[in-house]
Structure 1
């Protein structure tokens, strides 16, 4: 770089052609799109075969981010990349980034690190990554990792997202850790898939937690660990599939706890497939599918209105009801078959299958 090539006028001469193109695009306020237009060739799953014309070094992204907004403009322009292969390790540990970062439909050679970083916004939609390390990450607006693939673990313990976090349709091959995190908005996990343990222990979510259509698979072990979870909105899990144990012990839900058309199976050796011990919500809907099997614990749970499915309750499921209380027991208005007294008592009698203590009078009172 000559004395006239300042960072705000020309990109560093030693940068590659796509990296210089990124510099130009960033300073012009537009994204750098390296896609070919061929969906098969642009699939990030094939990113290891992409040519060097699509390579961007992680250190170049870090340099542009740490430099802050281009001084040539008054508006803080985001750094936006589409369809790139990010080589090297993107390490933004403890960094304060004053511009939004958006890397979409790209692949990362190495696990990016955002530990203790303070970001405006982070968008990794459609990306393939070996993992994500983001302990104590702070995001002041929005976090998006939609339709992506994380081959290993996604670690985001003790994070704080002031807006909404959206991981819809993303697959995590290992563990997903969001324990002790705070969401100023909602947490969207619709269509989300996890091949290890999904950990939401002691999370605080100001909006809704949406797990509709999600698949959590850790057979014979804990698939969903969400004890101490607090959701100010509703817990929505229509069509959720859990292979393993779902632990919602002590969960506090401000709206509706909706476990409707959920498939629960392959619990650990204890047999517990769903733990709602001491859970509380103004309204709870519990309607497992016919293919569900295992033991459900409602011990010491309390719901204002409890909507269940006595008629369609799976034969291979039993329930622990000791200390379980509710203010009103009801059914869906759309139910064409409504339980009679005998069917209700038969369902309540299932508690003897779930606890060695035998009969408990509380659910009858």
Structure 2
């Protein structure tokens, strides 16, 4: 028969057989739900607690005292062996503070209430496929190996404030994990290595203000097909030394990198094929490394030209709103020109469409003009020459006033010249049509020659060269106007 609170089984089955005084004190504290604090300098024997004793207490080896709620609350101990809770169900709270683990705890496939390992040192931690009904707290702890959270389901918050994870390589693997509440990694949270979160679900956001992720030459945060809701605050001193990789993910909230630092040798931020509700890309300094928006969909994009990287992939990027709204068109065009793959038509078309939706057709035409000038660099010599001609004469149809300016200049030059050096009548004995230098100049420029003066008068002296030039220029100008008009109608 049980001997009352604190009894752990029948004779011969006591898991505390041979227990140290510290372990028996832990059992009594567990039964009462109290903290057991091992005093500093207690010595190796007095401060050590076997992991098998902790496991036994958590799976029901001790009965609670009447009116008490049992809980494992241990501070300042050295836990020897492997804390093995895999596959078990633990209803008591686990709170371990300022302890040293010799082996990585295993909570694989277990169901626990609240797991808090704070200010402790661990060689690793495996919580894969576990279900945590409360919070997972690792604040202030140092985990040198990999923290495994594959498929973990977390009902409460994940708190890693001031924690130190990893020592290079894979630091935290939470692929397939589901967090129903927020992840807080503030106050000096440091990760050395890679955080992997493929297919993870963050339903209440990530708050990594001031955190530092470091994995030079690799990915600091790698997530594909992930879902992030709530809020994504990587701000106020957040640092990433390596690639932030969020390709093919959905960020259904605001992703803020305000006052952050992004540094990488090649690709600093990869948002290719990612859907983002709002992106605030206003880091505290210029981004070191490329940024990829390839085929991304961003509803609201806020950025700062002073922090743009040297190369930005914008092919396939679509957006609804750009901020700041008063940024000059030339700056936005410069943003597009930073695409590392050379000329791409779609980014120019997207920007022009954005201005059209705002009712700024004039700004849209400026973007499309810049597009044609960028495209010119990809053409062969004949095509490039024709492109230059279209640009000079009619601005590819987006600056039609240029053709009027050219026409006025040619008409003025011809009228003045032929007033000073009148042409000669070709048939003095016939009907002599009235000569007017303005009408004669227009007749030369007009490819159809509908006024009849070109056939009746021949330029005298050196003016035939001017006449020939006006005729040729008229044909070129007419052709360019027609081509430019056709380009505008086709919106190419």
> TM-score per shorter chain, which class?
0.7 to 0.9
For residues 255 and 285 of structure 2, the distance between their equivalents in structure 1, rounded to whole angstroms, comes to: 20
Distance 1:15 1:141, change over 3 A: same
Equivalences for residues 1-365 of structure 1 within 5 A: 8-9=6-7, 12=16, 14-36=18-40, 51-67=44-60, 70-174=63-167, 175-190=171-186, 191-238=188-235, 239-267=237-265, 271-290=266-285, 292-310=287-305, 312-314=306-308, 316-331=309-324, 339-351=327-339, 354-356=340-342, 358-359=344-345, 360-365=347-352
For residue 124 of structure 1, give the secondary structure of its aligned residue in structure 2.
strand
Unaligned runs of 5+ in 1: 42-48, 333-337
More strand by share: 1
Distance 1:320 1:61, change over 3 A: same
Report the Cα offset of residue 308 of structure 1: 0.4
Distance 1:192 1:50, change over 3 A: farther
- 1:46 paired residue number: none
Describe the superposition over 1:284-308 as per-residue Cα deviations: whole angstroms up to 9, x where unpaired: 1012343531110111222222110
Report the Cα offset of residue 74 of structure 1: 4.8
Distance 1:68 1:320, change over 3 A: farther
For residues 61 and 268 of structure 2, the distance between their equivalents in structure 1, rounded to whole angstroms, comes to: 49
Question: Are the counterparts in 2 of residues 251 and 279 from structure 1 also a CA contact under 8 Å?
Answer: yes
For residue 151 of structure 2, give the secondary structure of its aligned residue in structure 1.
coil
Report the Cα offset of residue 357 of structure 1: 5.2
For residue 276 of structure 2, give the secondary structure of its aligned residue in structure 1.
strand
For residues 355 and 75 of structure 1, the distance between their equivalents in structure 2, rounded to whole angstroms, comes to: 68
Please give the TM-score of this superposition, normalised by the length of structure 1. Answer: 0.86
For residues 252 and 224 of structure 2, the distance between their equivalents in structure 1, rounded to whole angstroms, comes to: 15
For residues 362 and 88 of structure 1, the distance between their equivalents in structure 2, rounded to whole angstroms, comes to: 63
More displaced, 62-71 or 291-300?
A: 62-71
For residues 74 and 275 of structure 1, the distance between their equivalents in structure 2, rounded to whole angstroms, comes to: 55
For residue 254 of structure 1, give the secondary structure of its aligned residue in structure 2.
strand
Superposed CA RMSD in Å reads 2.3
Ranked by relative contact order (alpha carbons within 8 Å, sequence separation 6 or more), the top structure is 1
Unaligned runs of 5+ in 2: 9-13, 353-492
For residue 273 of structure 1, give the secondary structure of its aligned residue in structure 2.
strand
- 2:489 paired residue number: none
For residues 4 and 342 of structure 1, the distance between their equivalents in structure 2, rounded to whole angstroms, comes to: 83
Describe the superposition over 1:84-139 as per-residue Cα deviations: whole angstroms up to 9, x where unpaired: 11011111111111111111111101111111111011000111101111211110
Report the Cα offset of residue 20 of structure 1: 1.0
For residues 116 and 318 of structure 2, the distance between their equivalents in structure 1, rounded to whole angstroms, comes to: 43
Report the Cα offset of residue 70 of structure 1: 2.5
Question: Are the counterparts in 1 of residues 135 and 155 from structure 2 also a CA contact under 8 Å?
Answer: yes
For residues 233 and 287 of structure 2, the distance between their equivalents in structure 1, rounded to whole angstroms, comes to: 18
Question: Are the counterparts in 1 of residues 31 and 68 from structure 2 also a CA contact under 8 Å?
Answer: no
More displaced, 10-19 or 180-189?
A: 10-19
How many aligned residue pairs are there? Answer: 340
Describe the superposition over 1:148-185 as per-residue Cα deviations: whole angstroms up to 9, x where unpaired: 10011111111000111111211112421011100111
For residues 62 and 204 of structure 2, the distance between their equivalents in structure 1, rounded to whole angstroms, comes to: 31
- 1:335 paired residue number: none
Report the Cα offset of residue 69 of structure 1: 6.9
More helix by share: 2
For residues 317 and 290 of structure 1, the distance between their equivalents in structure 2, rounded to whole angstroms, comes to: 13
The structure that has the greater radius of gyration is 2
